[in-house]
Structure formats: C-alpha cells, structure tokens
Structure 1
Amino acid sequence: MRLELKVIKDTLLVQIGGELDILAADRIRQEIDRVMQARKIQKLILDLEEISFMDSAGLGVILGRYKKISAVGGKMYIVRAHPGIRKILELAGVHKLVTLCQDEKEIISL
C-alpha cells in the first residue's frame, strides 16, 4: 500500500495506491486524521487512481473522512477512480455524498 499526503493551502490531497482494505484502513485513517487536525483543511481530495481493490473497510475510511470534513464545513472529493472502484462507490451510495471528479485541478483552483 502506498500513501502520499500533500497540503495545498486549505486542501489535503491524498494519493492511495494498492489495496484499500482492512489491512491498510487504520494507517490511512490515522494519517489523514493527523493532518486534518494539524491544519485547517476545508477540502479533502482522495486520489484513487492506483487503487487495485477496495473492501468495506475502505468504504468505512472514505465515509468516516466524509463525516469529519463535513463536521467542519468542508467538502470531500474523489478523483481518478477506475470503473470497478467507481461502481463500488456508487453501489454503496458514496457518490451521493462525495463529488466524483476526473482530476483535482478544478477542485484546487476553487
């Protein structure tokens, strides 16, 4: 599992690679929460381009971060989700809460 976090102004861009499953969920959750607490993050972008597999623990990470960013009046976005991952997000109803985008360029410029 690969995890890279980058802060750009009030935006946290999280790039995740590999499997977003129960083995990776705690580390991802802890790292995102640590940065969100340390900085005044208003936009959270999850880049899922390199995700090869996602299970219910991965959905839990996404929904939990949505709840945290929403609690401070922020917004969450998912970019570059492959069709299989996008289908999982849609079946779980995540697309009704989190905006799915092609890339982060438009989000960061807002």
Structure 2
Amino acid sequence: MDEITCNTEFSNGTLTVHIGGAIDHHTAREARETADKAITDTGAKKLILDLSEVEFMDSAGLGLILGRYTKMNDAGGTLTVKNPSNEILRIIKMAGVEKLVSVELQKQNSN
C-alpha cells in the first residue's frame, strides 16, 4: 500500500505543505484535504507545495497541483511547486503545468 506524509507550516502569509512518499489515486485525497484545510484555516495567499520528499507521482498528483492552483488563483493567491525530483519535474512539464504554476528547483551547492 502506498503511503504519504503531509505536514504544514504557516509563516508570514505563506503556507508550505511538505509532502512525502507517493502521490497517486490512493493517497492524493489525504494531501488534498490537508492542503485545503490549511488554506482555509490560515487564509494564506501564497501556497508552496514542497515535493522534495515525493518518490512517485502520477496523474492524481497533477490533479492535486492543478486543484490547489485553481483554489489559490480564485482567492487571489499564488502556488509554487518546490523541489520536485527530475522525474516529477518531467511529468509536470509534459502536462504543461509549469506554464500555470511557479516551479522552484533545489539549489545546488557550488563546491
């Protein structure tokens, strides 16, 4: 069975949802409900979905991203997808999602 973790933090008007594990049709509901409740509870105008710990994502993950984009856009807010793996970034680009949401890649050390 696939597992997912969802933790939220809110600071200075920005809500960050840290997601880990797999985002698929079995687990996307938990991530969606966690994010939506936190958006409502905080009134955040900036949402960051931190995918740095996501190991797998299918079309349900795209639905999660697009649904939160719509929710934030309707409220006059913004969505950023942060630190997707190369594979997940490829899925996001293939679907054209990067044209709607900001994607922030993990900075590499210059050592």
TM-score past 0.5 threshold: yes
Aligned-residue Cα RMSD (Å) equals 0.9
**Runs of 4 or more above 3 Å deviation:** none
Determine the C-alpha separation between the residues in 1 that align with 2:10 and 2:66.
20
**Do residues 34 (structure 1) and 37 (structure 2) align?**
yes
Paired AA for residue 3 in structure 1:
C
State percent identity of aligned pairs: 40
- Counterpart of 1:59 in structure 2: which amino acid? L
Structure number with bigger Rg: 2
What residue in structure 2 maps to residue 57 of structure 1?
60
TM-score, L = length of structure 2: 0.89
Question: Which has the larger share of helix?
Answer: 1
Residue in 1 that maps onto 2:93: 90
Equivalent position amino acid for 2:80 in 1: Y
2:76 aligned residue: 73
Question: What is the rounded CA distance, in whole Å, between the counterparts of 1:95 and 1:34 in structure 2?
Answer: 24
- Structure 1, unmatched stretches of 5+, are 104-110
> Number of residue pairs matched?
103
Q: TM-score, normalised by structure 1?
A: 0.89
Q: How far 1:38 sits from its partner (Å)?
A: 1.4
Q: Which runs of 5+ in 2 are unaligned?
A: 107-111
Task: Tell me the equivalent position of 1:7.
Answer: 10
